Amino acid sequence: MAVTTIKVRVAEITELTPEIRAFDLVPLNGTPLPPFSPGSHVVVHVPGEDRVRKNPYSLASSPWEQDRYRIAVRRIDEGRGGSVGMHERVRWGDVIEIEPPHNLFAPDRAATRHVLVAGGIGVTPFVAYAHALARDGVPFELHYAFRGPEHAALLDDLAAASPGALSTYVDDDGTAVLAGLRERLAGQPLGTHLSVCGPAPMMDAVLGLARELGWPESRLHLERFALDEAPRLPFSVRLASTDEVIEVPAELTLLEALEDRGIEIPYLCRQGICGECRTPIVDGTPDHRDIFLPAEEHGSALMPCVSRCARGPLVLDL
């Protein structure tokens, strides 16, 4: 399946913090961009030295603004190069390709109130949330923690979209935001849902606090970005149907290596969350790095967008 992409022009690049840049993307010839629901992301085809990286970024603008998308990208030097490519290669005025918005983190429609909790760059989807909830008249409060005042990205956008609803915390390890949340989470009316987006330890701590205060699972929502920090080693896979052997170098994902050979696997998130790229295996032991695949399937499939090889030979049922 060939993915349809949209060509957009980089109309503005804003230095939000020492690590985070916002990119405003506008349509090329005035054709409106597709509308999206809050929580949506776009996969950006990031130009690189030798290849294009496809990285998902949350849309951090108002959902009914169809003449501009905003994404905010934190530079991660030890990452796989997508964010570095955005920071180093993408210039003002460039034309880049993005895939149409897709939502894996939509607000619960039955909720009559929202508590939103963000850590660092995890705040991006909540810009669109704030716009949409404010427009629909659904009350919400947004708690936003960052490491220091110089790391507070998108504060103006958030304050404009959520007057009176924003609380900020300068926080290195989650202590301040947890202390502030304890009282808030103990006093929410029925109908309230909690959504959390941020670093994994922070999300775990916030969800743990909510559970302690009696919140049931159906009211808890989280956006994971499975930033996988484990070192990557090169490995190879074999395709069962053709016996073709494909090398996966350390700097590529298995999904990218397959795509380079012209093998198209469907995907949505490219971060091991959505389940779209599930690929059956016939032999070998994968190094599962996704958060989607249930343990019962660990011997029979893998998510090539993040997972690698623990013990070979790894043979894919392709």
Partner 1 sequence: MPYGVSMEHTTLPKDGSLTFDPSGVRHVVVAGPLGPEVEQLLADARSAGRDVTLLHTGTAGTAAVLDKLGTLLAEAQVGVRVYLAGDDGFVRATAAVAHAAGILDDELQTAVTASAARRVWCSHCRTVTEDVTTTVAPCAGCGRTLEVFHHFSRRHGAYLGFQADAEAPGELPEPEVAWP
- The footprint of ligand FES (CB under 6 A) covers 267-270, 272-277, 290, 292, 303, 305
**Collapsing DSSP states into helix, strand and coil, what is residue 186?**
coil
The two tokens of residue 198 are: 């941020």
With CB under 5 to 8 Å by kind, the binding choice for 274 among ligand FES, partner 1, none is ligand FES
Q: How far is the CB of 302 from ligand FES (least distance, A)?
A: 10
Interface residues for partner 1 in 25-54 (CB under 8 A)? none
Residue 281, CA distances (Å) to 196, 213, 241, 270, 300 in order: 34, 42, 12, 19, 5
Please, which residue, 160 or 226, has the CB nearer to ligand FES?
Answer: 226
**How far is Cα 278 from Cα 76, in angstroms, rounded to an integer?**
27
Please, which residue, 21 or 270, has the CB nearer to ligand FES?
Answer: 270
Interface residues for partner 1 in 54-113 (CB under 8 A)? 112
Q: Which stretch binds partner 1 (CB under 8 A): 35-43, 74-82, 188-196, 299-307?
A: 188-196
Please, which residue, 59 or 305, has the CB nearer to ligand FES?
Answer: 305
Please, which residue, 277 or 314, has the CB nearer to ligand FES?
Answer: 277
Do residues 306 and 271 make contact, with C-beta atoms less than 8 angstroms apart? yes
**How far is Cα 292 from Cα 184, in angstroms, rounded to an integer?**
31
Residue 279, CA distances (Å) to 272, 286, 287, 301, 317 in order: 12, 11, 14, 5, 7
With CB under 5 to 8 Å by kind, the binding choice for 305 among partner 1, ligand FES, none is ligand FES
- Under the criterion CB under 8 A, does residue 190 sit at the interface with partner 1? yes
What kind and span of H or E run contains 200?
Answer: helix 200-212
With CB under 5 to 8 Å by kind, the binding choice for 218 among ligand FES, partner 1, none is partner 1
Strands 95-98 and 6-15: antiparallel
Q: How far is the CB of 220 from partner 1 (least distance, A)?
A: 10
- Under the criterion CB under 8 A, does residue 136 sit at the interface with partner 1? no
Residue type, 120: G
With CB under 5 to 8 Å by kind, the binding choice for 215 among ligand FES, partner 1, none is partner 1
Q: How far is the CB of 191 from partner 1 (least distance, A)?
A: 3
Residue 12, CA distances (Å) to 9, 16, 178 in order: 9, 12, 35
Do residues 279 and 318 make contact, with C-beta atoms less than 8 angstroms apart? yes
Q: Which residues of the chain form contacts with partner 1 (CB under 8 A)?
A: 112, 185-192, 211, 213-219
